[in-house]
Chains A and B, each alone.
Chain A
Amino acid sequence: MTPITRTSAPSFLRRAICTTDHRAIGRQYLVLALISVAIGTVLSLLMRLHLTWPEIGLPGHGPILPEDYLTLVTFHGTLMVFYVLTTAPQSGFGNLILPSQIGTRHMAFPRLNAAAFWLTATALATLLSATFAPGGGPISGWTAYPPLSAVASAGPGQALGMDLWLASLALFSIATTIASVNTLTTVIRSRCDGMTWERLPLTVWGWFTAALLSLLAFSVLLAALLLLFCDRHAGTSFFIPSGDLVGRTLHGGGNGSPLLWLHLFWFFGHPEVYIAILPGMGLTSMILGNFARRRIFGYRIMIATTLLIGFLGILVWGHHMFVAGLNPFAGTAFSISTMAIAVPAAAKVLSWLATIWRSRPEYKTAMLFALGFVSLFVAGGLTGPVLAQPILDQYLHNTFFVVAHFHLIMAMAGVFGLFAATYYWFPQISATANRPGRLMSERLGRIHFWGTLIGAYATFLPMHITGLEGEPRHYAQLTGVPGQAGHLLATTIPLQAPITYAALFLAAAQLPFLLNLALSLRNSKPAPPNPWQATTLEWAPEPSPDEEIAAYRVPCSYHEGNNGATFLPQWVSDVSTE
């Protein structure tokens, strides 16, 4: 016994704030993402309802004005892209699972890890506080193109609301940069004995590549945010041309270029979508292999394509700018680099198809969501090469065709990756120091899966059609527009109500998930030690503090002949198991 004993255990609050335990921090990120996704979903439903029935007001608020609609757009995009699709897969599940998958007990920098979480939480609070700013929240969307975002007189919410948005994302960028350094260092330095690069699970490759991209992308975003802040408050002119006349405000300063912001923003923004999706791609691969009881087809190709997608991801930002005022030759160059991504992405789909081909897998909910990920990834991915052709983007740019594309591939496939992770790793999520983990209900899980899959397709497939008809994004209403434009927009109105009903159905399909979460956390039956008969180290028996952790083989080692039931986990040393 040590001579010093505590008189009382530290309070719950103190433990929650001061914890440097990576699992606790991972859970904190997941709670933050769950709050953000709930808010972001409600905001998207308000947008859909307003587009469909613009005359209906919001109880306690009154009519939804155009600037209110654009604030909804801005908050929905910012919450979902940053606070859900960046935090949950990378920081949430990364913290919870990554150390044990590579056989270490800690992240490389536990205190920095905690600091990154609290910075992220502060960033979220800062963002939400912008709703209370005079003039309301910012209206310039999650991409915040200047001069709209650079000049306070450009619109309601572009004064203090915009400053709070900038502050929020600056904090978020710092936190994510810290987190990515932590992830990279942990993967490079803390792998256990025998955990060679080729034995790393594909989830770890996903997190590793996403962290590499985060490090590059978020540091550039931080720089861009600071420059924009200086344009707003320090009299600089990085993004504002001289003679710019917004309302009655004439910019008399130096001659900057709004296009510089577009370059900096999309140099961050495009890798960002891969940061959101790469962990889900890795997990999908591992889950397909696990439930098909097969080694993932072309494991090395999968590693190579993950890195290749990451590398190409930083060379394609210009495809967001085909009609922004680039030199047309640059359009050609960015088009070719973008089309090139179709090759490693298609290689991944082929590997997934080959892995499950004639495998008679076990359809646990996690497997269903992984299969749903493949389906949505293909459905959203196939319109990528269409939009990558500048001549077609000249018609499709900023229409609902684009909205449909990125919601299928980034939002829906990304969220399916998160659901697969939740169902698969729930024993790890729900375990505490003195209580083993629980499993989620499979019955509720199946209802959740089918509802979400049908809802996702019913919501986003018809948006391709309204996009082809010419419906632009960011329109606060489709009625009451004069001239020929009103006639054009009128052709898109018949599909609005069905899309809104589908979106409501999709949101309602999440109720079984929330119910499942609540019931499963209180479930009295502990999960078995390795419920999915998995081969990766996070399912190994908890090692005692002085025990060596080691990896003895590649993941997904199965013996054929009895339906793959004989499997060799990475942590088992005895090779002569017959």
Chain B
Amino acid sequence: MAPTPHAAPLLALRWPLPADASAHGPSLDQHLILNLWIAGGLLALVHVILLVGLLSRRRVGEPKRSWIVEYLPLSFLVLLFAGLAIQAEILWAATRYTGADPAALQVEVTGMQFAWYFRYPGPDAVFGRTAPKLVAPGEGNPVGIDPADPPGADDIVTSELVLPAGREVDLRLHAHDVIHGFAVPEMRLKQNAVPGETIHLHFTPTTPGTYAILCTQLCGAGHYRMQANLRVLPPAAFAAWLASKQTGATP
């Protein structure tokens, strides 16, 4: 359901949303703003009807037939909400029904009270094995990489998420302890990280910049300060950053 041309100036009005820096973001914003205008419009309409009805002279006699008062507006609302739902499902399906492109950048996200950690698989493109009993944030192994597993030797663990602009990324979300909410408002993304599960989430950042990663699922006393930065770099700068990390990771 694309917005009609005459509604376009309305959609251009500024809504208090943060910057929008992901590939799926603009269509999400457009649908959200359309929804907000419809909700606001219906709210105003109901109150106008309410006030006019209360202020007019009393009508004596039989009420109007119910199909005019009840079924006609109801049919209109059914069509309206069905249209919104269909458009929403199209957008939802586009981002969620299928997995990431196999060529997407792989990053693992781990939430724990009260920090986010990010792991890149390194040149071998394979994540090393992890074990809960090896988790030791104080000793530089916050996600619990098993030193006995060779693919883990070149894994890179960071406390900021660094991504190249314009390339799809496939995140695999984990949580060590309790449920955390991985949220990047400027990427229009939100997905819980659940202990015991691996949840995939894929998206494409478009605009270089630094963005906020929050926790949006109540996870304990430090919930409000559980955050990290997302740094989106131009592809060349990202390659340089990754190379600098790799030289640090390999012994």
* A contacts, CB < 8 Å to B: 65-67, 70, 73, 139-141, 145-148, 151, 154-156, 240-247, 250, 255-259, 294, 297-298, 301, 323-325, 328-329, 331-332, 335-336, 339, 342-343, 346-347, 349-351, 353-354, 356-361, 371, 374-375, 378-379, 382-383, 385-386, 388-399, 465, 468-470, 472-478, 480-488, 491, 560-561, 563
Min distance, Cβ B150 to any Cβ of chain A, angstroms: 22
A392 touching B28 in the complex, CB below 8 Å, given contacts A147-B178, A325-B197: yes
Contacting pair A477 B224 (CB below 8 A): yes
- Judged by a CB distance under 8 angstroms, whether B113 is at the interface is yes
- Judged by a CB distance under 8 angstroms, whether B92 is at the interface is yes
Contacting pair B58 A391 (CB below 8 A): no
Chain A contacts of B230 at CB under 8 A? Answer: 484
Min distance, Cβ B235 to any Cβ of chain A, angstroms: 21
Contacting pair B225 A156 (CB below 8 A): no
Contacting pair A354 B179 (CB below 8 A): no
- Judged by a CB distance under 8 angstroms, whether B240 is at the interface is no
12 contacts between A and B (CB under 8 A): A258-B194, A297-B70, A324-B192, A328-B93, A331-B96, A360-B57, A361-B54, A374-B50, A391-B28, A468-B15, A484-B213, A485-B214
B15 closest partner in A (C-beta)? A468
A250 touching B133 in the complex, CB below 8 Å, given contacts A354-B70, A360-B58, A468-B16: yes
- Judged by a CB distance under 8 angstroms, whether B43 is at the interface is yes
Binds A, one of B61-69, B118-126, B163-171, B243-251: B61-69
B130 closest partner in A (C-beta)? A243
Contacting pair B59 A358 (CB below 8 A): yes
Report the bound CA distance from A323 to B183 in whole Å: 10
Chain A contacts of B93 at CB under 8 A? Answer: 328, 332
Closest 10 pairs (CB-CB, A-B)? A241-B196, A389-B88, A485-B227, A328-B96, A358-B59, A357-B53, A484-B212, A470-B185, A475-B224, A360-B58
Report the bound CA distance from A359 to B57 in whole Å: 7
Chain B contacts of A374 at CB under 8 A? Answer: 50
Report the bound CA distance from A297 to B63 in whole Å: 8
Which of A328, A350, A469, A561 interacts with B17 by CB under 8 Å? Answer: A469
Chain A contacts of B18 at CB under 8 A? Answer: 469-470, 488, 491
Contacting pair A483 B16 (CB below 8 A): no
Contacting pair A391 B218 (CB below 8 A): no
Min distance, Cβ A32 to any Cβ of chain B, angstroms: 28
A375 touching B50 in the complex, CB below 8 Å, given contacts A350-B69, A358-B57, A488-B212: yes
A343 touching B78 in the complex, CB below 8 Å, given contacts A359-B58, A485-B214: yes
- Judged by a CB distance under 8 angstroms, whether B237 is at the interface is no
- Judged by a CB distance under 8 angstroms, whether B211 is at the interface is yes
Chain B contacts of A390 at CB under 8 A? Answer: 88-89, 92, 96
Chain B count of residues within 8 A CB distance of the other chain: 89
Contacting pair B96 A483 (CB below 8 A): no
- Judged by a CB distance under 8 angstroms, whether B104 is at the interface is no
Which of B43, B53, B95, B215 interacts with A353 by CB under 8 Å? Answer: B53
A394 closest partner in B (C-beta)? B190
Min distance, Cβ A383 to any Cβ of chain B, angstroms: 6
A385 touching B84 in the complex, CB below 8 Å, given contacts A148-B218, A241-B196, A245-B132: yes
Apart from A245-B135, A342-B77, list 7 A-B contacts with CB within 8 A: A73-B218, A257-B194, A328-B96, A356-B53, A359-B58, A360-B54, A483-B227
Min distance, Cβ B231 to any Cβ of chain A, angstroms: 9
Report the bound CA distance from A324 to B132 in whole Å: 22
- Judged by a CB distance under 8 angstroms, whether B228 is at the interface is yes
Chain B contacts of A243 at CB under 8 A? Answer: 131-132, 196
Chain A contacts of B219 at CB under 8 A? Answer: 148
- Judged by a CB distance under 8 angstroms, whether B31 is at the interface is yes
- Judged by a CB distance under 8 angstroms, whether B181 is at the interface is yes
B59 closest partner in A (C-beta)? A358
- Judged by a CB distance under 8 angstroms, whether B32 is at the interface is yes
B183 closest partner in A (C-beta)? A472
Contacting pair A561 B60 (CB below 8 A): yes
Report the bound CA distance from A170 to B78 in whole Å: 40
Contacting pair B214 A66 (CB below 8 A): no
Report the bound CA distance from A152 to B82 in whole Å: 46
- Judged by a CB distance under 8 angstroms, whether B195 is at the interface is yes
Report the bound CA distance from A375 to B97 in whole Å: 38
Report the bound CA distance from A34 to B196 in whole Å: 43
Report the bound CA distance from A256 to B70 in whole Å: 49
Min distance, Cβ B240 to any Cβ of chain A, angstroms: 21
Contacting pair A297 B66 (CB below 8 A): yes
Report the bound CA distance from A474 to B113 in whole Å: 15
Contacting pair B216 A357 (CB below 8 A): no
